[in-house]
Structure 1
């Protein structure tokens, strides 16, 4: 058992997820006992199929399980067949004001339709979109947003609040269910952390639908990451959330990376190298900050879950190394101790350390992949 495996059996690390129904977005399961999925959205013009496909490729490499694209016009839905065919992950068509785009996107092969029912219009139009989704095997997401609540709810409550968001969500869920359509998930997003979290908490108690969670319009990379981590972390810790998007004013791939980091920090999913590192101080035996920055870049291609501790001195280094697959503790005379599976293994010169660590991580990743392949072959 590795140090990483050992952390999984500790009861105080366990998060009991909310029980809900399971749906499918293409070949990806959402809800129930399925892993919590990470989503993002392209910001290219969807009508430019090549640019959109290239961005989807980058999102796939970053770890996106599902990708959403905007469909504001006919040119966008006309590009959807090529986009869907090229993508390795399910594509969600984002529909706002024009119900016909939803029908076109379903016919074009979208795996899911994201609708904001309050913007689409009459019940008849909503019904047409439902029929298209059913006919073409699409799931749906009811996307309620504090910034686009129905007029009568704003008049009733005076402002966007948790009750208004939940009432809107349940009303539109009821419409889908009245049409015997049940393959849908719900989001009740707001840019205010307190409002979003309270709305999701109320919605989680009121229904058993899968929930897509997010703090919408969270801001730039730093502030948006902080807000999303607080909001999504609070919900996930409470077992709420089946799929998520981190909304940043940044490149879409960064949304995916932050989403994964949130899940990894809570032990909910594991992908890539998780680096545990100290903030550095005068005791450090090497430049910790620069080392971590370089390692994050050079190890970004690793998908296999591996833990790596980078600690500048012997105060906390040995203890942290006990809990990681590979560890490094700064030492004197330019030589640093390397740990493997929590045990001291060998020393390395500082000028060779980064290349050496990269090699160790890549070797460890290959060994884990080979072990899993052997287990899969034996099971077959």
Structure 2
């Protein structure tokens, strides 16, 4: 409903653009949302099923771990079944990178300085070039090189940035430029400072994340603070929320961060009150049910759920659909910010779900008509 105000504008850092499969990362491309599977990659069926759930949640790019030859052997089937680009996570064994590139991975997550000799590095880069693979340099505070730990004494922003620059130099010395970089840490302050420093020194796309962030609640808070503050400052081209939770939850949290900043919208943005003694219905349980029932909606739209008329009308004026609690189990429904009709308590959930589905279909029809008119 509401338009973007000037004080909401984010001046995004200018980065060059790379391609991860058919998905653009960096430049003026949308900030992409990533996640990583937790099934054994060698179990192609289980991995594909998990990828399907992540795709449904809106994942743009999905990473799978390739620690052994059984995993890279299954990768070709996984890539063929996926509708989004697949990133192969490689740690030290350069042959896994070669196998993953040949199997169709859109990107290799690998630190070139960790895979051995100059010849091995050259082989991996040549394989990436031959197969159209991008590379993600993944610097992590928990696995910094020994010489950097000796130099700096502990993980610090300068150490993470120096590690990233060392790996970048290896790629550029081999005339490879289709790369993005992450400098992750579980400490929010460390990660944010490292990204801030690196963003001033390179023009490549940056992959944001607070690594090992924790469980669904704690990890969401840490990620929202770290990733959110960087995005607010215009830094970041693709994100992964690292949670001890199912990967589709990482995707949903990622979109919530982007929606909160007005960077990218997908699905229903719910505005709801924390509830109090004035509430005319059980706000907490209502919102829980609505969020679950509306997960299938991909069309960007807004829904306000307020328990009483104190703030309800004001919030409803700013959302596509709104509901405020009334007396005797009778609640007011707002459509496009205007009071429209009442609904009884017993019918409220089903009624709101139906209204949201109808509104989503209407928005999609209007969007399609506008596209056809522009052609």
Q: How does 1:302-317 map to 2 (within 5 A)?
A: 302-317=297-312
Match of 2:85 in 1: 90
Match of 1:321 in 2: 316
**Structure 2 length as normaliser, TM-score?**
0.99
Divergent runs of 4+, >4 A: none
Deviation at 1:287, TM superposition (A): 0.4
Cα RMSD (Å): 0.8
Matched, 1:135 2:169: no
Q: 1:249 to 1:118 in 2, by over 3 A?
A: farther
Q: How does 1:84-233 map to 2 (within 5 A)?
A: 84-233=79-228
Kept in 2, the 8 Å contact 1:276–1:309? The answer is yes
CA distance in 1, matches of 2:266, 2:117: 43
Residue by residue over 1:131-184, the C-alpha shift from the partner in whole angstroms, topping out at 9 and shown as x without a partner, is 110010001100111111111111111111100100110111111111111000
Matched, 1:40 2:23: no
Deviation at 1:124, TM superposition (A): 2.6
Kept in 2, the 8 Å contact 1:118–1:149? The answer is no
CA distance in 1, matches of 2:78, 2:41: 9
CA distance in 1, matches of 2:156, 2:131: 35
CA distance in 1, matches of 2:213, 2:115: 25
Deviation at 1:279, TM superposition (A): 0.3
Q: 1:66 to 1:211 in 2, by over 3 A?
A: same
Structure 2 regions of 5+ residues with no counterpart?
A: none
Match of 2:281 in 1: 286
CA distance in 1, matches of 2:151, 2:67: 30
CA distance in 2, matches of 1:170, 1:29: 23
Kept in 2, the 8 Å contact 1:285–1:334? The answer is yes
Deviation at 1:118, TM superposition (A): 4.2
- For residue 274 of structure 1, the aligned residue among 269, 273, 289 is 269
CA distance in 1, matches of 2:45, 2:289: 31
Structure 1 regions of 5+ residues with no counterpart?
A: none
CA distance in 1, matches of 2:328, 2:222: 42
Matched, 1:343 2:338: yes
Residue by residue over 1:302-351, the C-alpha shift from the partner in whole angstroms, topping out at 9 and shown as x without a partner, is 00001000000000000000110000011112111111111111111111
- For residue 7 of structure 1, the aligned residue among 3, 6, 20 is 3
